[in-house]
A and B are shown apart, each in its own frame.
Chain A
Amino acid sequence: MAKFIHTGKKEVPPINTASLPDIVFMVLMFFMVSVSMRQTDKLVTLTLPQASEVAKLERKDLAAYIYVGIPDKRLQSQYGTESRIQLNDSFKSTDDIKDFVASERESLSEGDRQFLTVSIKADENTRMGIITDIKQALRRCSALKIMYGARKTP
């Protein structure tokens, strides 16, 4: 029966973690490639409407974002519960769109300015009145390329 008697201590060999940094770096690289930097803090809550024919924006760096929606819960005491327009990091009115577009244009290189796309991200319960105002303001400063943000229907 000596066959079954183990003599001497047998330790479980430690797991080799030498490759762990490599693995984590790989995940890190994946995230860096697939993700876009958050430029502004969203101050509004919004659910984008659904659409089946959505197209992807090809050059994200040429996009300017306009958010439209109801202010976040924590900001409601200050800004109310009506739909508001958010440009950059604060609530603005349609009159400020002109300056906003101008500054966005300014930040692009000369050749890219004509390709500036304004991405309108509005909550699905927004009334069209406010969107129409935005559209008119954009037309006035001839930022004609726009995109209505939408989710792809699953």
Chain B
Amino acid sequence: MAHKKTPAINGGSMADISFLILVFFLMVSTMDSEKGLQRRLPPMPQQNQKAENQKVNRRNIIQVKVSASDHVFAGDEPIENVSELGPKVIEFLTNPNNLDNLSEKKTENIEGFGPCQVSQGVISLQNDRGTSYKKYIEVQNELVKAVNTIRDQFAMANFGKPYERLDEDKQEIVRKAVPQKISEAEPKDVKRK
């Protein structure tokens, strides 16, 4: 009985085949990672319910407007450079000297942390139909940055670590203590200037 040896499979073309698959994957896939600014839109008011006149106190709202010509206004003051907006918002939200015209603070009991002064300030962002998306995102980014700065300060003061490096529970506490209230107002015809 002659023992027949199975011939070895030639693996030489393996590399070619896997290169082929590699090229296929390179072509059908995208590398770009999904990054961006996450937002939550306000729900549409019910039809029979009149847009509830804002219960929010006037002093608790800072209006940020971006005009059609991409000029930024905070309150009624024009802002030359978007980077000046950040400090303004921070001052409005933290209200370090407890001024009457800046946002109000309310003591709230946060679970797992205890009573804490929470700013009631709301940033209302308005834009025109002619505003460029670039400027809009720039302003949005600046607002988020301002809130993140305050969160970092809070986290440093209370937990001794920046917000990013806290664990999930503590981040939750910080998020409650420093809420990110950016309202993208109902589109209105912002006066063309």
Contacts and interface: CB of A to CB of B under 8 A. Distances in A.
Contact of A145 (B19, B40, B144, B148): B40
A31 interface: yes
B145 interface: yes
A28 B22 CA distance: 5
A24 B34 contact: no
A139 to B, nearest CB: 5
Interface string A121-147: 011111111011001101110101111
A56 B34 contact: yes
A2 interface: no
Given A18-B11, A147-B38, A151-B35, A38 B29 contact: yes
A25 B44 contact: no
Contacts of B12: 17
Interface string B127-156: 111111110111011001100100000000
20 contacts: A24-B22, A28-B25, A31-B22, A31-B25, A35-B29, A36-B30, A37-B30, A38-B29, A53-B144, A119-B36, A122-B133, A124-B137, A127-B132, A136-B187, A139-B41, A144-B42, A145-B40, A146-B41, A147-B38, A152-B35
B172 interface: no
Provide the main secondary structure of the chain B interface: mixed
B41 A60 contact: no
Contacts of A140: 44
Interface of A: 17-18, 20-21, 24-25, 27-28, 31-32, 34-38, 48-57, 60, 63, 117, 119, 122-129, 131-132, 135-136, 138-140, 142, 144-152
Interface in B9-45: 11-12, 14-15, 17-19, 21-22, 25-26, 28-31, 33-44
Contacts of B34: 36, 56-57, 60, 63, 119, 147, 149
A24 B37 contact: no
A128 B133 contact: yes
Prevailing SS type, chain A contact patch: mixed
A98 B15 CA distance: 48
Interface residues of B, number: 46
A57 B37 CA distance: 9
B134 A125 contact: yes
Contacts of B14: 20-21
Given A127-B131, A128-B130, A139-B44, A51 B22 contact: no
B145 A52 contact: yes
Given A28-B18, A139-B44, A148-B36, 13 more contacts: A21-B15, A21-B17, A24-B19, A31-B26, A34-B31, A53-B145, A125-B132, A128-B127, A128-B136, A131-B136, A139-B41, A139-B43, A146-B39
Interface in B96-149: 127-134, 136-138, 140-141, 144-145, 148
